[in-house]
Structure 1
Amino acid sequence: MKIILPDETGRKMDYHLIGTPVPRSVLPANPARIVYSAAHVVADPFTDNAPSGRATIDWKKTLEFRRYLVGMGLGIAEAMDTAQRGMGLDWPGALDLIRRTKAELPDAMVVNGAGTDHLDPKDARSVDHVLAAYLEQVEAIQKVGARVILMASRALVRVASSAEDYKRVYREVLSACDAPVVLHWLGKDFDPALAGYWGTDDFNEALETVLSIIEENVSKVDGIKISLLDKEKEIIMRRRLPKGVRMYTGDDFNYPELIAGDEQGYSHALLGIFDPIAPLAARGVKLLGEGDVKGFHDALDPTVPLARVIFQAPTQYYKTGVVFLAWLNGFQDHFVMLNGAQSMRSLQHFTEIFRLADGCGLLRNPDLAVHRMKSLLSVYGA
């Protein structure tokens, strides 16, 4: 099958599809690694999803996609940044999403983002103000009967004056949690507003603060997700976590190596890239559990170039590539996103994703993908 695609200079070139669609795999009940896919949401294209408007969601398609992920044995990290949390999806919308996912999939493995995004950072008056915002969201999520992943707070960055402020906030929020939670260390590449989180720009100083928070509250911490796009920093921290506290990699550049692990341990997974590459994530971790380390790498290593393109700088716009592939693969009928985010990448970005996804076997219906890619090209006059 052939399609004409522009190269990086804009010159039109024949591209012949080479991939064979990946067959469906299902993780066993007790997989070798805990795997969460941070799932995207599907916008309603017939309502006002402009940057200045309130986000509206196609609930039918959004929940269908979650059933698809759970059907392969993956867990869901709900209402996180992949769902454009704080970048199109506000707190009322996020809570609605959490409620609907819990009702739709009551027995699924789901963790749900609790943060402070209903408090505009410029309106944050004090650490107590931020603490109250955290507690409000935690209480609302627990009232639904859902588990919590504690997201980083833009407002806390604005008002905290020292590492002690972070320790106090996390201590009090964790004490209010009914069950162990996942912490989230989201780096500035994903959200520039989080620069200086934990009270410093120095990794080693920040690490000591986070470890002290975990050690002080170890009974309330299931694990921590690190999204710093630096495998060495993740490994350093992983080796220092208290016994029983899990490392969940959020490194969308180095995940195969981190999940496979080394002689001193391994990372579980909580990844945005496991939305578009879910079939290979399930296949790879299934093979790893069967002792087939080579099969694991054969499944996941070829996806890394695709992930690096999707998550290239400015990294916060990676959601555009995720939704683009969902559209190509027929999980939604349009390429419209909350906050108009479909406009945040170039045509060359999309064509490179198309090529790389094909090479990985991630175009599950090549005829449909080609048809939709041609329709996008026509919008650009190609």
Structure 2
Amino acid sequence: MARQQRTQVGIVGAGPAGLLLARLLKTYGIDSVILEARSRAYVEARVRAGVLEQGTVGLLEQAGVAERLHREGLVHEGVELAVDGRRFRIDLAGLSGKAVTVYGQSEVTRDLIAARLAGDGPIVWEAADVELHDLESDRPRLRYSLDGVEHELACDFIAGCDGFHGASRASIPPAAGRSFERAYPFGWLGILADVPPCSDELIYASHPRGFALASMRSRTRSRYYIQCSLDEKIEEWPDDRIWDELKKRFGPEVAPHITTGPALEKSITALHSFVFLPMQHGRLFLAGDAAHIVPPTGAKGLNLAASDIHYLSRALEAHYRRNDPTLLAAYGETAAARVWKAERFSWWLTLAMHKLHPEHSFEAGMQRAEIDYLASSRAAQTVFAENYVGLPF
């Protein structure tokens, strides 16, 4: 016999989306229980993105978890592009009136977990074999096992925030949804190192050898990426080879400023775009990577998850506080409209900056023309800036 529990909102996944939703719901007086398949140590150690849109920062402020972010985060008012040895800066603040903040996703996660465990409600770590039931009824259920004991959590609603491979989206009948996907024929090799960044702002580089990105997590910790083939192995890339390749791709102007050091973490990630529609089924609402994936080129993954939570938390507040179901009914359509715009920007920037075609092909000429236009047009840079800092919720 399963142990019975009851809550208003069952949240599957203790990543930033699930944690932020739980925190915002608590401020509205709405109870929730979070189920997470992994351990707390694993979740807090995951290395992920680190560029926050101004809207995401605002949500974290609303949730009351932005104190450390403002103390340690790095506000960036511009971004640089380097193409075939030529560098130009896009003035994000001057063109859009907004900026971005560099603050690691793992730090956001730690802040949200600390707030949750300070009295907001439970997180069930290492919840195994999570199953979603009765999604089309007014009493959906979550079943899971913990330390060999079966549990059942009855809810009013379920928020599926458990990522691309989680149980939530897989619980929607195949005939009730549709996937849209684009796979890219390359990956990103990333290195994290305790060395000062080579620049005060991010640098996106397009080079005949392939794309590269210079990013950071703090003033003393750097994150670099290089385009690689999907069949390469991380063992083929010792630290020295990575640093040498980065210097080649960023060119002689940037290379002297690249400080090398031992890798704290290295990985190769395949890039793809993915959208699942609708983002709701019965009383299940998908948010974050459970509903969509973007290439990391435009730094939209965590920020898209945050915008989903903005819409979903407002909709749940309207339901519980005002008995108004309108926003919940429209959640999937409302969230997806912003998702597609972010997908478009990430797709465009990925295709514009990566080596995809032979150097003298028509397609390569179109890539060069795209970047030339961006470098010379204030209008094009304004469009870039508005998308990079994040479109309004």
TM-score normalized by the length of structure 1: 0.29
Q: Which has the larger radius of gyration?
A: 2
With the length of structure 2 as denominator, give the TM-score of the two structures: 0.28
Specify which structure has the higher proportion of helix.
1
Question: Which protein is richer in strand relative to its size?
Answer: 2
